[in-house]
Structure 1
Amino acid sequence: MRTSNRPKHVGILVETDDSWGRNIVEAVCRFGRGRGWTVLITPRDPQGRLRLPTVWNGDGVIASLRSEASVRHVESLELPVVDVGNMVPKHDWLARVATDDAARGVMAFDHLRERGIEHFACYAPPIGRYSDIRSLSFKEAVEEGGFECAMYESTSEDAAGWLTNYSNVRQWLSTLPRPLGIFAADPYPARQLVEICALESVRIPDDVAVLSGDDDDLLCNVASPQISAVELASHRIGETAAQTLDRLMKGRRPAKRPVLIPPLRVRERHSTDILAMADHEVAEVLRYIRDNAGQGMTVSDLLREFPISRRRLEKRFRAVLNRSPAEEIRRVRMAHVGRLLLDSDIPIAQIAVEAGFATSASLSQAFRQHFGATPSEYRRRNDLKEN
């Protein structure tokens, strides 16, 4: 029998075989320590499934629900539940805190399009790690951008053993135009895609640029070439899920709508290090911007470096990227500031100097216009590892 004065017992049914799951668990446990929770992490039944034991006397559950069987299990507990995934339908009796798949799709498309890619595909074999929403969101972003997206069609062989089903993937790749940007649903299919391209002598990123829909410190970094990935706000998802569960255990009802957390950024690695555009002069200008925008360059600097008029440069940028040189400089500059905020402990005043801003206030104003948050809010909201 549960008593009100004992610590809350919380079960975490989240796989820890990737960075996303480990970050979720870490953030939940950090929040729980501050509340005096007793936490049971990833318990399994004799079949190896994530299941809470019948002897467990719990108060709430945070889970990544991947099947109807897992839904039935947590429902039978008759406890407050927060789902941190998006693989099963949302039920009224549970709360959900998950990645905003639409924002992920747009971010992935923008990253590939910024490299001049005009041919797109999505590789998301059914391996039980993600929902169709992830790939469909990327497809929708591509089509809204005015392009077509080739979708990998799964077969019975994929369901039986996708890791060895190279022949179907090779055949699919052979039918697609180059240069091609492929969104792989997560690091597992992304890694497989890189391996298949190596076997087929398909050059990455020159022929095929590969972008994973989620990041993993091991899989994305040990691949050859290393794989670019959408970095999710997994610590923030875990923290928000824990806060939500805390309210549910105090008697609040689950919200009908899920809480959707946008991804942080694309972590760029070699697999998308390409500027695949017919206008080679614009490509050279873009390389120059990416090498120098973090130091506070201007359009005037571009005109001094390249023998082209401002009007012609503007026209060609609009034709290739649908934005002006000034907008591209600002975008790259803000991305540079964002990386410094998340990847370092450098004070914001020093970041302002390194990024070419006169004062911290001018950086804060420009950053808020671009990201909708001040640098300090952005760092605090998105980098929960140090909190």
Structure 2
Amino acid sequence: MSSTPDRKDYRRVAILIETDDSWGRAVVSAIGQYARRHHWRLLIGPRDSQNRLCLPKRWTGDGVIVHLRTRWLANHLRKFQLPTVDVATMMPNERWAGRVATNDEERAEMAVAHFLERGLKHFACYAPSLGRYSDSRARIFAEKIQQAGYHCSFFDAKEGRQGWELEHHDVLKWLAELQRPLGVFASDPYPARQLAEICDQGGLRVPDEVAILAGDDDDLLCSLAWPRLSAVQLGCHALGEEASLLLDRLMDGAPIPEETTFVSPLRIHSRQSTDILAVSDRELLPIVEFIHREAPRGLQVKQLLREFPISRRSLEQRFRQHLGRSPAEEIRRVRLDRAKELLLETSLSISEVSEACGFVSSAHFSTSFLKQMGTTPSDWRSTHGSGAST
């Protein structure tokens, strides 16, 4: 016979995170899984008469996990003096809260690598102010582009013209001044979808002229956009888990950490909006396309030499010149990208994933995965495979 635990046996935790996108829902889902294991009672998304997330006046709780977006919410929560964990970096000076957030450095590096893998050499960032993300997200991307030896252009919205009120003409004028094909990093799915719609209305072809990558994934927005939008898939499950662990420590009396706990993004969820190979060497392009198609079938470099009339020396030199990596590295990269997709989206065993991606053995697959990701395929799947944003 089950019994209700005494008040001392559980903790009351409020979750102040918007659930209008995949990121919010996935983070809250991960917190919910933790709550079930640790006897938390959750108050999810309470609001006031103005529809603002807030704590009820008479609520007697033990802790809060929040996505701090506004000064009002920060001031509101500070008055309660409860252990609090913020799951973003939009308000980094609020030192009264612990913080767990996506690693923006790694997000930017992943985005830059995705564009460079497609041979792009011209870049821009589209991040109009929407109150959804930190300004540092775009700045860090631009820094990483510059470190790679390229320039990054920013769209500057006119005063008072932000979000969905932007004049499409201004955006198209900005794009017209930039060299193409152009790789554009949009801070999250909302500006990414807006930019795709503006390009469609202005007659700019995505991805052939403008390749668009969103800094966060959303299964609905990215899949329904035309074309479907590529995005950085974040470690939402790990983020929710880490935030819950930190809050538990704070509720036990631990001091607020001075440093943010950063969670790595998972992968690029590649869709049509970056499905481009901007390789100026027209003889190299079909070879790269062949690799993308055949790598998961056990492709070897020697097969490329049989399939295409090119010497090994010339093949290596042209790959290095145009893509910055060898043919063998490109084959391995394509296989590992496919492996991450299968680990997240299927229940295939590690050996089955290895075979499906063209690795010679499970041991070779695990070694290659560990070298790139710093963890084994099974550990990576257990950390990110349940509740991760798709």
Q: For 2:156, what is the secondary structure of its paired residue? A: coil
Give the conservation status (yes or no) of the 8 Å contact 2:216–2:234.
yes
For the pair 1:84 / 2:87, whether they are aligned, the reply is yes
Match of 2:210 in 1: 208
For the pair 1:188 / 2:158, whether they are aligned, the reply is no
Give the conservation status (yes or no) of the 8 Å contact 1:157–1:165.
no
Take 1:188 and 1:358, find their aligned partners in 2: how far apart are those partners?
41
Match of 1:97 in 2: 100
Take 1:202 and 1:281, find their aligned partners in 2: how far apart are those partners?
26
**TM superposition shift of 1:6:** 4.4
Q: For 2:212, what is the secondary structure of its paired residue? A: strand
Take 2:207 and 2:341, find their aligned partners in 1: how far apart are those partners?
23
Take 1:92 and 1:188, find their aligned partners in 2: how far apart are those partners?
29
Take 1:313 and 1:384, find their aligned partners in 2: how far apart are those partners?
41
Match of 1:26 in 2: 29
Deviation string 1:67-125 (CA, Å, 9 cap, x unpaired) is 22221111111011100011012433211110011111111111111111111000000
Q: Which runs of 5 or more residues in structure 1 are unaligned?
A: none
Task: Pick the aligned partner of 1:248 from 247, 250, 258.
Answer: 250
331-340 vs 179-188, greater mean Cα deviation: 331-340
Task: Pick the aligned partner of 1:143 from 146, 152, 164.
Answer: 146
Task: Pick the aligned partner of 2:41 from 25, 33, 38.
Answer: 38
Match of 1:368 in 2: 370
Match of 2:333 in 1: 331
Q: For 1:313, what is the secondary structure of its paired residue? A: helix
Q: For 1:279, what is the secondary structure of its paired residue? A: coil
Match of 2:3 in 1: none
Take 2:86 and 2:340, find their aligned partners in 1: how far apart are those partners?
29
**Pairs within 5 Å for 1:230-245:** 230-245=232-247
1:85 is matched by which residue type in structure 2?
A: A
Give the conservation status (yes or no) of the 8 Å contact 2:298–2:360.
no
Give the conservation status (yes or no) of the 8 Å contact 1:119–1:181.
yes
Take 1:98 and 1:5, find their aligned partners in 2: how far apart are those partners?
30
**TM superposition shift of 1:154:** 2.2
**Pairs within 5 Å for 1:106-125:** 106-125=109-128
For the pair 1:170 / 2:172, whether they are aligned, the reply is yes
Q: For 1:229, what is the secondary structure of its paired residue? A: strand
Take 1:156 and 1:16, find their aligned partners in 2: how far apart are those partners?
30
Q: For 1:204, what is the secondary structure of its paired residue? A: coil
2:324 is matched by which residue type in structure 1?
A: N
Take 1:289 and 1:361, find their aligned partners in 2: how far apart are those partners?
22
TM-score w.r.t. length of structure 1 = 0.96
Take 1:334 and 1:50, find their aligned partners in 2: how far apart are those partners?
41
Take 2:364 and 2:110, find their aligned partners in 1: how far apart are those partners?
26
341-350 vs 86-95, greater mean Cα deviation: 86-95
1:48 is matched by which residue type in structure 2?
A: N
Take 1:57 and 1:141, find their aligned partners in 2: how far apart are those partners?
45
**Pairs within 5 Å for 1:332-347:** 332-347=334-349
Take 1:137 and 1:340, find their aligned partners in 2: how far apart are those partners?
30
Take 2:358 and 2:158, find their aligned partners in 1: how far apart are those partners?
53
Give the conservation status (yes or no) of the 8 Å contact 2:26–2:237.
yes
Take 2:204 and 2:102, find their aligned partners in 1: how far apart are those partners?
32
Give the conservation status (yes or no) of the 8 Å contact 1:163–1:192.
no
For the pair 1:132 / 2:135, whether they are aligned, the reply is yes
1:11 is matched by which residue type in structure 2?
A: A
**TM superposition shift of 1:322:** 1.3
Match of 2:59 in 1: 56
**Pairs within 5 Å for 1:256-267:** 256-267=258-269
**TM superposition shift of 1:174:** 1.6
Take 1:353 and 1:211, find their aligned partners in 2: how far apart are those partners?
30
2:120 is matched by which residue type in structure 1?
A: I
Give the conservation status (yes or no) of the 8 Å contact 2:236–2:387.
no
TM-score w.r.t. length of structure 2 = 0.95
Give the conservation status (yes or no) of the 8 Å contact 1:99–1:262.
yes
Q: Which runs of 5 or more residues in structure 2 are unaligned?
A: 1-5
Q: For 1:351, what is the secondary structure of its paired residue? A: helix
2:117 is matched by which residue type in structure 1?
A: E
Q: For 1:326, what is the secondary structure of its paired residue? A: helix
Take 2:294 and 2:92, find their aligned partners in 1: how far apart are those partners?
46
Give the conservation status (yes or no) of the 8 Å contact 2:9–2:39.
no
**TM superposition shift of 1:4:** 7.0
**TM superposition shift of 1:362:** 2.4
Take 1:385 and 1:191, find their aligned partners in 2: how far apart are those partners?
24
For the pair 1:225 / 2:223, whether they are aligned, the reply is no
2:270 is matched by which residue type in structure 1?
A: E
**TM superposition shift of 1:164:** 4.7
Q: For 2:101, what is the secondary structure of its paired residue? A: strand
Give the conservation status (yes or no) of the 8 Å contact 2:217–2:232.
yes
2:374 is matched by which residue type in structure 1?
A: G
Identical positions, percent? 48
**TM superposition shift of 1:359:** 3.0
Structure 1 outlier segments of 4+, above 6 Å? none
Take 1:182 and 1:362, find their aligned partners in 2: how far apart are those partners?
35
Give the conservation status (yes or no) of the 8 Å contact 2:16–2:64.
yes
Give the conservation status (yes or no) of the 8 Å contact 2:98–2:256.
yes
Q: For 2:331, what is the secondary structure of its paired residue? A: helix
Q: For 1:341, what is the secondary structure of its paired residue? A: helix
Take 2:368 and 2:175, find their aligned partners in 1: how far apart are those partners?
42
For the pair 1:71 / 2:103, whether they are aligned, the reply is no
CA RMSD of aligned residues (A): 1.4
